[in-house]
């Protein structure tokens, strides 16, 4: 019987997906365990649970976008510190505006408009993005030096580490 | 500089709008994870895995669409489904070792959640890619954001729904 798919191609995809997925899953399990250990803080800070996944996704996406542009510049043989700083700053400003506004809305809906949630979002975003952008820069440069395509490495690495850093910092900054 | 900020603002605003569903679902399900914190421990790993798999599948599906290779799209769908069977037990084991909880229950919740999410998101990804092309849109710009956001929301909702049945 002829299968409707190519077994060799499926195995090739699985080989490339499984190693990275399992490694990243173990890293994420650490941040999940940290989150569950400090579950009371999350429970007692109204709106934090609504804020956390959005901060994780947005900071990871901003740092990945910056890393992707840096990687393109290196591929094209036109690395520029000024352009990298401009890209990183543009992503940071956009993050602060969007996450500040989202935190304000969440604060109004779930925390009776108390300003604490907005301050927490801005502090966490600033610190986590600094780590994420630094990691994106280091991983792009490191991947190029190691002869690996940075496009295959930067996204999963930056988003997974950013998730962990965002969880840890937001719980540290929560009252 | 202004152009870069505006471009970043528009894509991040769309992402936040899509991801807000995940945040609100998590906030509204607070009472459930307060009783079973091990579900909170497993959630970031499940979301991260599902997001990475959805992103890779949507990327392969758009490439297959551009090349007119439907068989490659089916291969990617099959590989994604198999990955959703293989990786979740590793996640359950890692969470069990680092945090605790009942290993069998965690593994069952992880596998069933990932299969339930995959059964919705994997065909959805193919549909989005094909619909984008018909509407004259570049699927590379549409599919990744939609599929990863849908994956995140469904992972949160299905984790608690399935855990409600499995964990006594």
CATH of the domain at B101: 1.10.357.20
CATH code of A68's domain: 1.10.357.20
Give burial (CB, 10 Å; 0-12/13-18/19+) of A78.
Answer: exposed
- DSSP states of B42-53 as a string? HHHHHHHHHHHH
Whether A123 maps to a domain, the answer reads yes
Q: Give residues with Cβ within 8 angstroms of A61, minimum separation 6.
A: A159, B11, B12, B15
Q: Give residues with Cβ within 8 angstroms of A32, minimum separation 6.
A: B40, B41, B42, B43, B44, B45, B95, B98, B99
Is the pLDDT higher at B66 or at A35?
A35
pLDDT attached to residue A1:
61
Contact between chains at A54 and B23 (C-beta distance less than 8 A): yes
Task: With residue A110 as reference, give the H or E element that holds it.
Answer: helix A81-110
Whether A14 maps to a domain, the answer reads yes
pLDDT attached to residue A2:
67
Is the pLDDT higher at A2 or at B14?
B14
Whether A88 maps to a domain, the answer reads yes
Identify which of B37, B83, B91 has the shortest CB distance to residue A29: B91
Contact between chains at A5 and B22 (C-beta distance less than 8 A): no
Q: How far is CA B81 from the centre of its chain?
A: 12
- pTM greater than 0.90: no
> Running DSSP on this structure, what letter comes out for residue A45?
S
How many domains, chain A? 1
How many domains, chain B? 1
Whether A2 maps to a domain, the answer reads no
Structural domain for B131, as ranges = 2-166
Residues of chain B found within 8 Å of residue A36, distances taken between Cβ atoms: 37-38, 40-41, 99
pLDDT in tens, A91-132: 999 999 999 999 999 999 998 877 789 999 999 999 999 999
Structural domain for A68, as ranges = 7-173
B1: helix, strand or coil:
coil
Q: Give residues with Cβ within 8 angstroms of B86, minimum separation 6.
A: A14, A18
CB atoms within 10 A of CB B6: 11
Identify which of B13, B23, B33 has the shortest CB distance to residue A52: B23
Tell whether the model's pLDDT for residue A59 goes beyond 90: yes
What does chain A come to in residues?
A: 175
Tell whether the model's pLDDT for residue A146 goes beyond 90: no
Task: With residue A80 as reference, give the H or E element that holds it.
Answer: none
pLDDT in tens, B12-29: 888 899 889 889 998 988
Alpha-carbon dihedral sign for residues B107, B112, B118, B121: negative
Give burial (CB, 10 Å; 0-12/13-18/19+) of B102.
Answer: middle
């Amino acid at each position: 019987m002829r299968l409707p798919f190519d077994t060799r191609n499926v195995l090739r995809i699985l080989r490339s997906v499984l190693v990275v997925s399992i490694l990243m899953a173990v890293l994420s399990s650490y941040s999940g365990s940290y989150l569950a250990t400090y579950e009371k803080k999350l429970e007692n800070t109204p709106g934090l649970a609504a804020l956390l996944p959005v901060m994780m996704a947005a900071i990871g996406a901003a740092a990945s976008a910056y890393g992707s542009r840096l990687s393109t510049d290196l591929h094209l043989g036109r690395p520029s510190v000024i352009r990298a700083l401009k890209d990183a700053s543009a992503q940071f400003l956009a993050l602060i505006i969007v996450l500040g506004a989202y935190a304000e809305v969440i604060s109004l809906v779930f925390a009776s408009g108390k300003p604490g949630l907005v301050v927490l979002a801005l502090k966490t975003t600033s610190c986590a993005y600094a780590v994420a952008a630094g990691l994106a820069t280091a991983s792009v440069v490191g991947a190029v030096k190691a002869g690996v395509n940075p496009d295959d490495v930067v996204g999963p690495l930056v988003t997974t580490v950013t998730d962990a850093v965002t969880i840890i910092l937001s719980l540290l900054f929560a009252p | 500089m202004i152009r870069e900020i505006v471009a970043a603002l528009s894509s991040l605003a769309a992402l936040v709008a899509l991801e807000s569903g995940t945040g609100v679902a998590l906030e509204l399900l607070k009472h459930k994870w307060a009783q079973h914190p091990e579900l909170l421990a497993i959630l970031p790993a499940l979301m991260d895995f599902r997001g990475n798999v959805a992103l890779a599948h949507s990327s392969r599906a758009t490439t297959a669409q551009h090349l007119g290779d439907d068989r490659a799209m089916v291969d990617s769908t099959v590989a994604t489904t198999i990955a959703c069977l293989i990786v979740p037990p590793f996640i359950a084991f890692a969470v069990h070792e680092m945090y605790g909880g009942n290993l069998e229950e965690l593994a069952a919740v992880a596998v069933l959640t990932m299969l339930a999410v995959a059964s919705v998101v994997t065909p959805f990804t193919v549909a989005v890619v094909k619909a984008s092309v018909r509407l004259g849109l570049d699927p590379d710009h549409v599919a990744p954001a939609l599929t990863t956001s849908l994956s995140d929301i469904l992972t949160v909702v299905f984790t608690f729904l399935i855990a409600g049945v499995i964990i006594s």
